[in-house]
Amino acid sequence: MPISLNGESICAICTSPGIGSISVIRLSGKDSKTIVEKIFSKKLIKQRFMYYGSFKFKNKKIDEGLCVLFNAPNSYTGEEVVELHLHGGDIIAKEIIDILQKLGASLAKPGEFTYRAYMNDKVDLLKAEAISEMINADSAASLRNSIINFSGGLNKKYNNIRDLGINLLAEIESRVDFPEDVIPKLEKKNIQKIYKDLEISLKSIIEGYKKGVLINDGINILLLGSPNSGKSTLFNTILEEEKAIVTDIPGTTRDSLEHIITFNGMKFKITDTAGIRATENLIEKIGISKSIEKINYSDFILILLDLSQNLTELKKNMLHFEKILNNVPRGTILFINNKIDLLNNNRKLLKLENLKSYQINKNFKFLNISAKQNKNVKNIFKYILKNTSINHKNTTESFMTSKRQFLLATKSMEYLTQSKIKFGKNMPFELVSQDIRFFLNNIAEITGEISNNDLYDVLFSKFCIGK
C-alpha cells in the first residue's frame, strides 16, 4: 500500500516484540503532542526533556513511564514527534497503541517514519537505504559499512560525479551553436579529461559493489574434496560443533550442509558438500552433481586434499578438480592440504615440496592444516579476507550494496561512454549533450533528486514498522 504524506499523526511500537525491560512507542505528526497529553499526566512543554508520569485512559491507569517531545523540524521525521517509554511486554504497549488510535493516530506502515524523514529533507534516499542496511546488519562489517554510508560516504562520491557531469554538460552546451571542428585542442583536452575523471569515479563505485555485497551478504565458501578428505571434520571444527556426520565410510555426506559464522566481524556462509568421486550409487551421484552446481554460486572454493594419501593419488585428485574448476578464476580457489598431523616431518616436507612445485606450475594456492586438531584453520579465513581486500575495521571507504544503485550506476556508465564516443567522433553537440543529460538523470535517480514513487513504495516497505 502506498505511503501518503498528509501530516496526520502516526504511531507504532519501536521495540522488538516479547518480554523486555522497556517498550518504546513513537508518534509523528501535527497532533502527536495533543494526543499524548490526553493520556499522560504531565504537559509536554520542553523538548528533548524526559517527563515522568502516569498513563491513564477513562480514569483507568495503564502504566507509569516517560515521555519525551521533539518539536518540528528538530526530530527524526522533521515533524512533531513524541516517544513513550513504558514497562516492557506486549500487553501494555498494545493497549497504549489501541488507545492512541482511538484518539486519532493511525498505525504506521512499514518504513513510514523514515519515509516522512525523507520527504521532509531530513535524510536523502542514500541515507534512507543506509538506515535500512543498519537495521538489517548481521555482522560488524555490514554495520560499519552502513554507518559510513549513512554518514555520507556514498553521497560525497555521487555529488562529485554530479558536479563533474554538470561541468561537462556546460562545456558541451556552450558550444552547441558553433561548428564541432573549431574547438581548440587545449579545450578539447580539458573536456576529455573531465570524461576520464568521471569514468574513474563512477567505475570505482561500480567495482566497489562486489565488495559491498560480500560485506552485506557474507562470503560464500564451498568445501569440495574427495570422500574422507576431511571436509566434514573441517566443517565441524569451523562451527565448533558436530553438525556434519563424520565416519570412515566414503560417501557419508550426500546432502549439502550450510552454516553461517563470523570471523573478525565478517560473515561467512560455509557449505559442506558430498565427496566427489566416481560412483555407481544413484543417491551419491545426485549429491555429487549438486556439489558441482554450487560452484557457480561460491565466492571461494576450498579443495581439501588428504595428505595421508600417496603422491600419485593426490596429484590424480588435483587433476580431477582442476578439470571441474577449469572455468573458475584461480584467485577464488584454495587447495587445503589436510591431515598434516598424520605425517612425520620427513614425509611431510617431501610431500609438500612435491605439491609446491605443482602449485607454482598451475598457479594454485595452498594452505597446510589439520582440521581434526584445529591447526592453522583460522589462516583460511585470513587468506580469504586478504584476497578480497576487505579491511572493514580500519577503513573509511564506503561500498555500494544496493542493487538499485548498481543498475542505475551501470546504466549511467553506458550513457557516459556513448557521449564520449560521440564527442571523439565530432558528432553534433546536441547528440553528445543528450547522453550527458541521461547520465545526470540516472545519477539524480540514485540519490533521490528525481522522484520515483513506485521505487519509494518498495524501498520503505522493507523497513520494520516503527522505523
Q: What is the DSSP string of 87-113?
A: ESSHHHHHHHHHHHHHTTPEEPPTTHH
* Annotated domain spans of the chain: 10-124, 130-214+402-447, 218-394
Domain 218-394: assigned CATH number: 3.40.50.300
Q: What is the DSSP letter of 296?
A: G
Contact between 74 and 82 (Cβ < 8 Å)? no
Task: Identify any residues that bridge with 84 across adjacent strands, giving them in sequence order.
Answer: 25, 67
Domain 130-214+402-447 shares a fold with domain 218-394: no
Distance (Å, whole) CA 312 – CA 348: 15
| Domain 130-214+402-447 CATH class label | mainly alpha
Query: Hey, which CATH number is domain 10-124, 3.30.1360.120, 3.30.9.10, 3.40.50.1820, 3.40.50.300?
Result: 3.30.1360.120
Sheet holding 266-272, edge to edge: 257-263, 266-272, 219-225, 300-306, 333-338, 365-368
Element (H, E) at 207: helix 185-217
Task: Report the SS3 class of residue 334.
Answer: strand
pLDDT in tens, the chain (467 residues): 344 556 799 999 999 888 888 999 999 999 999 999 999 999 999 999 999 999 999 989 999 999 999 999 999 999 999 999 999 888 999 999 999 999 999 999 988 999 999 889 898 889 888 888 888 888 888 999 999 988 888 999 999 999 999 989 888 887 765 555 555 655 788 899 999 999 999 999 999 999 899 998 999 998 888 888 888 889 989 888 655 444 444 444 445 688 899 988 899 999 888 666 544 455 545 555 666 666 777 889 898 888 888 777 877 777 777 777 777 776 788 888 888 888 776 666 666 776 766 665 566 788 889 999 999 999 999 999 888 877 666 677 889 999 999 999 999 999 999 999 999 998 988 899 999 999 999 999 998 887 655 545 555 665 666 66
Whole-model pTM above 0.85? no
User: Strand 60-70 and strand 10-13: pairing?
Assistant: unpaired
Residue 453 is predicted with a pLDDT of 56
